Amino acid sequence: MRPLRDQRRAGRVRQAWRAGRLLGAAAAVAALAGFTGCDLQENADLDKGQQLFTQNCGTCHALTGAGTSATIGPNLDAAFRQARASGMDQDTIEGVVESQIENPRPANPDQTDIYMPANLVEGDDLKNVAAYVASVAGVPGIKPPEFMPSEFFATNCGGCHTLSQAGTTGNVGPNLDQVLPGMSPAEISQDITDPNAQITPGYQPNVMPQNFGQTLGPDEVDALVKYLAQVTR
Domain boundaries, the chain: 2-136, 149-231
CB 125 within 8 A of CB 55: no
Other residues' Cβ atoms within 10 Å of the Cβ of residue 23: 26
Measured CA to CA, the distance from residue 144 to residue 77 in angstroms comes to 12
pLDDT in tens, 109-167: 666 555 788 889 999 999 999 999 999 999 999 998 888 999 889 888 998 999 999 99
Check whether domain 2-136 has CATH 1.10.760.10, yes or no: yes
pLDDT in tens, the chain (233 residues): 444 444 444 444 344 444 444 444 433 333 343 444 444 556 899 989 988 898 788 878 899 999 888 888 889 999 999 999 999 999 999 999 999 999 887 656 666 555 788 889 999 999 999 999 999 999 999 998 888 999 889 888 998 999 999 999 999 999 999 999 999 999 999 999 999 999 999 999 999 988 888 778 899 999 999 999 999 99
Measured CA to CA, the distance from residue 228 to residue 232 in angstroms comes to 6
Three-state secondary structure readout of the chain: CHHHHHHHHHHHHHHHHHHHHHHCCHHHHCCHHHCCCCCCCCCCCHHHHHHHHHHHCCCCCEEHHHCEECCCCCCHHHHHHHHHHCCCCHHHHHHHHHHHHHCCCCCCCCCCCCCCCCCCCCHHHHHHHHHHHHHHCCCCCCCCCCCCHHHHHHHHCCCCCEEHHHCEECCCCCCHHHHCCCCCHHHHHHHHHCCCCCCCCCCCCCCCCCCHHHHCCHHHHHHHHHHHHHHCC
* Same fold for the pair 2-136 and 149-231: yes
Question: pLDDT value at position 231?
Answer: 96
Question: pLDDT value at position 27?
Answer: 35
Name the CA dihedral angle for 189, 192, 193, 199, rounded to a multiple of 10 degrees.
100
**Cα 61 to chain centroid, rounded:** 6
Q: Which fold has domain 149-231?
A: Cytochrome Bc1 Complex; Chain D, domain 2 (1.10.760)
